[in-house]
Amino acid sequence: MQTVVITGLAQGMGREVALRLASGGDVVVGFDIDAAGVDSLRSEIEANGARSLLRCIDVRDRAAILSFRDEVLERFGHVDSVLSNVGIGFFGPFEEVDLESAARCLEINVMGTAAVVQAFLPSMRARRRGRIVAVSSLVGQIPFPFESIYSATKFAVEGLVRSLRYEVAPFGIEVALIAPAQVSTGFAAKIHVLPPEGSPYRERARRFIERDEELIRTAPTPAEAAERIVRVLRTARPRLENTIDAKSRFFLALQRFLPQRLRDEILLRQMDIR
């Protein structure tokens, strides 16, 4: 039995991971800004006789995160794993990006990940064991057009976690990244907004959105993605890099073996914006 911290667990992949862990006897602790989602998840977990500690917290509220950490450690003594699944999307041509909105995305996706990991890291180090898993994205390794801000946040998460891995390895703490391309949730639909009429980017963005939504329809479900994440949380020696879907594996293979010009050509054709 493990005690696992999960952020972003009110819906989608995070919720499915929480339910799978709880059904397997693990203690699920975590938080999300979606109060209704947190309440319904708590009820579902408790109805199955599992233990949990779930709170409604904004990941930008560091004082609340530290208070939550103290509550978790007081009640359960330790945590075995931290899954950072917090994040919001961001779509649009960079020239037209509202930088205040972009800063919010950076704060949630990057500093939110940093805040929860930093909060629980000391207790893991003291025990000389633990696991930190962060949900990144394919665009954290391969930037896609119209996702410059979101891509920047995921590149930052990748850099943070990869660097952290070297720092914490001497203390028995394992680190892993999970980089899905797409999961069939409403995540993309919330951010797929066309540039305004007259924008020089509108037509290419329209084609990108149509192609992206077509691919999402055949992407893994949250339950399928959660199965892969749970394996990473439970496997004896997780790999640093983990994927969920065939699209991620395809593009990451291109990244490793093809020159930039060919990679660009394939990506642009794949997304129908050549």
Q: Tell me the C-alpha distance between 34 and 107, whole Å.
A: 17
Say if CB 56 and CB 31 are below 8 A apart: yes
Beta carbons of 124 and 139 less than 8 angstroms apart: no
pLDDT at 62: 98
CA dist 199 and 50 (Å) reads 52
Range of the domain at 62: 3-270
Provide the token pair at 91. 């779509």
pLDDT of residue 230: 97
* C-alpha–C-alpha distance, residues 25 and 22, integer Å: 5
Amino acid identity, residue 210? E
- On whether the CB atoms of residues 192 and 229 are closer than 8 A, the answer is no
Task: Tell me how many domains the chain contains.
Answer: 1
Strands (DSSP E) found in the chain = 3-7, 27-32, 52-56, 81-84, 130-135, 173-178, 241-242
Q: What is the CATH number of the domain that holds 64?
A: 3.40.50.720
pLDDT at 186 (0 to 100): 72
pLDDT at 252: 84
For the chain, 274 residues long, the average pLDDT of each consecutive 10-residue run is 96 96 97 98 94 98 99 98 96 96 98 98 98 95 94 98 98 96 77 92 94 86 94 94 84 84 87 78
Residue 110 contacts residue 156 (beta carbons within 8 Å):
yes
CA atoms lying within 13 Å on the CB side of residue 63? 0
pLDDT of amino acid 218: 84
